[in-house]
Chains A and B, each alone.
Chain A
């Protein structure tokens, strides 16, 4: 079975492909996932109905989805902003943990009414995320050291620090578990009255609108866009690349910090050694899918929230192992990202005989000498 695969860039992308691909890819990924579900004796149609229809039509499903979307929107922006200037913040997870640590500390040690305490926690968490990025950002702007590597390495440092803190200085007094004390009720995120969703979504929406306005209606946004499109031309126009890089990295990191405290104050209630939500990494595909704009980032985050919530629905209701849910989610994301590629390339395959001459007659295939 010897065959050649040829990829040719599409010269013109037909407009229908743009509309068809997202739908077709989701359907295709679901089709592949059905095989797995059938192997587990689960009716795929029922599973998908539960995963998508029920999640999006029941009140509890919607509330879960929206609450889940909040941290995803925030980390999506944490990756999206640097991406706009052609930088990759791989380590949003680290900034998220830094935000969680400082936010939890404030919640445990400052007594203020809710209306003041929660903004203070978010502020502290944002600053913590930002500071966690400070060293990678300075290394990038001053010495051109690749931010992909540094931000990633800072994730591991943050994880170890969490692990140390919940067994040391921040451990629940008198407790044996590696976790902090529960944060007091005043520091927990309230619900939006009458809607049942956490106020986090309001914050996330406001922040998304701010980012949208900054990118599309301000001089700073213009500088970021130009730097991302051609940093050399930007420099020749007097745009300070350093300023732009510092801004996108630090602002992005602050968003990751917000996501950290949102998780603690909205979901977890305390900092645990096992606190390892992985949202920071999910932020990367979210930002890639939504790279055309802040609103698209929000849509992509909501889509991810749907498959996360829907996934845990079928996990609990149909007894599908959580590993399989992970596989389903990964396949859907993989298909979506791959679709982006096939939008731009057309593929042709040709079978070749496995005869003796087969492997060697590559000259005519390559049109060579």
Chain B
């Protein structure tokens, strides 16, 4: 390895019971570079970075930072050494404000108890304030947010984050929350920032902004490691990339020297079909007829304003939209999870508006929710429990009141086998949350698809999963369509919408504003409509075009 490397991980090996997560992996990161860490789900990327961040300790191998050997027992040691990590699932407390979330874990006592008091309070004599015991108590148990708050706001402004630091985190969008996580790292003066699948939860526009921020950071000498399985990202922003496959380091290459196909081959170990041909199948009778739908979100704000939508048998209808424009609620309404305030929903010609979720399920509706951890599974329960979530009332799992866990387990094994879910040796032992993102998503899709639904509502089915799984999931979606299932597909990935859909709808501010087909429509036009069509300002329009076209540069 070259001498100018800032971080050097050498011969890292980490085993978990029954699995070698990292097998003699080495990588080095130079100062001020963006280094990609590429691999399929379960390749050991997250494990390697968790070792670097002190969350796991390696069985063997060394970590050197700026020439010094690091010996880390906890993330605290990593933070001390100037390493920051933005996790895939944000570690923020929704009820607290941005600034409180950022100072969390640090002591920010009232200014009079600081090492260098920046002001003196006239009301209390300084002889009392400087008493050691009072100082000790004060420095531990008081919270002074004024100074940190202005520092954080200044930091946010410096990086062009449009965030008011006194806003509670629950009011922020996913992209903004991620910026809060980055701010949290910056506030702790990081030299190395690790981002675990940072764009998995972002819209393409937000991802674009993230990348701008990252390159700004590197200009200031911060090194960045991005864990990802998106080839486009690797190509557009990284300087070098290290590829892992099944726990082994495949090698580190300069991004400029390789193309997408090379990377995919390194990652999967064989040639990968990056685009899928979708064949037209004749449309049958409508399975979902929604007319004039109105619905509110949790806070009672109207988020669907008169949506008309029809999905036919054997048809994929793609709904494109920027997150927060009502597609989440539309998906939930179509799946019978969210009640509507007006309008009607008919499945297979039968009006079941505002009936229970169970009656939607019984009418043949399946639902793949957007957030697989929050809504798609019960993480602490076993794969077996999660496999029968939809079908547990079915007679095959026992008559009457009885639930037969043996036949449930064998059903779970069927799902696992059929959808090639990896990392499971006993379906009643492994918890859903122990599966990697892609494998969990496969399990959820298996659960929803193998019951042969008439209508499948799939919200962001491939978000945050690796290339191999994306390919698999897309093929299964098309196969399901060919069997006659009507599919309502929500996605922020325009490529996905265009590759899979038979019809494309665009949702903006709770209304369907545009309809086209993949053959006739253009990505630019759809990208524009997602952001409100002609009415948007020029700068936003420019960004949208870039975002909508992002990652398609080679076609």
Contact = CB atoms under 8 A, between A and B. Distances in A.
B357 A8 contact: no
A358 interface: yes
* B contact residues, range: 35 or more
Contacts of A218: 401-403
Contacts of A362: 107, 139-140
Interface string B356-394: 111111000001010000111111110001001110110
Nearest to B358: A238
B403 A367 contact: no
Contacts of A366: 105-107
B136 A220 contact: no
A238 B381 contact: no
Interface of A is mostly: helix
Contacts of A364: 80
Contact of B188 (A8, A219, A358, A368): A368
B96 interface: no
A233 B377 contact: yes
Contacts of B369: 236
A217 B55 CA distance: 38
B132 A367 contact: no
B118 to A, nearest CB: 14
B187 interface: yes
A156 interface: no
Interface string B42-70: 00000000000001100000000000000
Contacts of B376: 233, 236
Nearest to B105: A366
Nearest to A368: B106
B458 to A, nearest CB: 13
B188 A220 contact: no
Interface centre among A217, A226, A359, A362 (most CB of B within 10 A): A359
A359 B139 contact: yes
A364 B80 CA distance: 8
Interface centre among A222, A361, A369 (most CB of B within 10 A): A222
13 contacts: A217-B402, A217-B405, A218-B403, A233-B377, A236-B335, A236-B369, A236-B375, A358-B132, A360-B135, A363-B107, A364-B80, A368-B106, A369-B106
B549 interface: no
Interface string A217-246: 111111101100110111111111000000
Interface in B378-426: 378-381, 385, 388-390, 392-393, 398, 401-403, 405
Interface string B106-150: 110000011100000000000000001001101110000000000
Interface in B281-308: none
A238 B378 contact: no
A351 interface: no
Given A225-B381, A229-B378, A229-B381, A237 B390 contact: yes
A236 B381 contact: no
A366 B138 CA distance: 16
Interface in A333-363: 354, 356, 358-363
A222 B357 CA distance: 17
Contact of A237 (B359, B361, B401): B361
Interface string B446-489: 00000000000000000000000000000000000000000000
Interface of B: 55-56, 73-74, 76-77, 79-80, 105-107, 113-115, 132, 135-136, 138-140, 187-189, 335-337, 356-361, 367, 369, 374-381, 385, 388-390, 392-393, 398, 401-403, 405
Contact of A226 (B56, B106, B107, B385): B385
A20 interface: no
A142 interface: no
Given A234-B378, A235-B337, A240-B358, A359 B136 contact: yes
Given A222-B392, A233-B378, A236-B335, 7 more contacts: A2-B136, A11-B55, A222-B388, A226-B385, A232-B374, A359-B139, A369-B187
B115 to A, nearest CB: 4
Contacts of A216: 405
Contacts of A358: 132, 136
Contacts of A234: 378
B402 A368 contact: no
A368 B369 CA distance: 39
A368 B107 contact: yes
Contacts of B385: 222, 225-226, 229
B402 A226 contact: no
A367 B189 CA distance: 10
A2 B105 CA distance: 20
A219 B77 CA distance: 47
Interface of A: 2, 8, 11, 216-223, 225-226, 229-230, 232-240, 354, 356, 358-364, 366-369
A354 B132 CA distance: 8
A260 to B, nearest CB: 28
Nearest to A232: B375
Contacts of A361: 115
Contacts of A363: 107, 115
B105 A219 contact: no
B103 to A, nearest CB: 9
A230 B389 CA distance: 12
Contact of A230 (B105, B189, B379): B379
A30 B138 CA distance: 37
A359 B107 CA distance: 12
A257 B304 CA distance: 48
B379 A359 contact: no
Given A219-B403, A229-B380, A360 B115 contact: yes
Given A238-B356, A359-B135, A226 B389 contact: yes
A358 B115 CA distance: 10
Contacts of B359: 238
Contacts of B367: 236
B353 to A, nearest CB: 16
A358 B139 CA distance: 10
Nearest to B148: A369
Contacts of A359: 132, 135-136, 138-140
Nearest to B114: A360
B294 to A, nearest CB: 21
B357 A237 contact: yes
Contacts of A221: 403
B220 to A, nearest CB: 16
B125 to A, nearest CB: 18
A214 B136 CA distance: 54
A221 B378 CA distance: 15
Contacts of B379: 229-230
Contacts of A236: 335, 337, 357, 367, 369, 375-376
Contacts of B389: 226, 233, 237
Contacts of A232: 374-375
Contacts of B392: 219, 222-223
A240 B356 contact: yes
Contacts of B405: 216-217
A222 B390 CA distance: 12
Given A217-B403, A238-B360, A366-B106, A226 B381 contact: yes
Contact of A233 (B189, B375, B398, B403): B375
Interface centre among B107, B376, B403 (most CB of A within 10 A): B403
A220 B385 CA distance: 13
Contact of B56 (A2, A11, A220, A229): A11
Nearest to B135: A359
A239 B336 CA distance: 12
A225 B403 CA distance: 13
A216 B401 CA distance: 11
Nearest to B79: A367
Contacts of A360: 113-115, 135, 139
Contacts of B375: 232-233, 236
A226 B375 CA distance: 12
B369 to A, nearest CB: 6
Nearest to B130: A356
A356 B139 CA distance: 13
Contacts of A239: 358
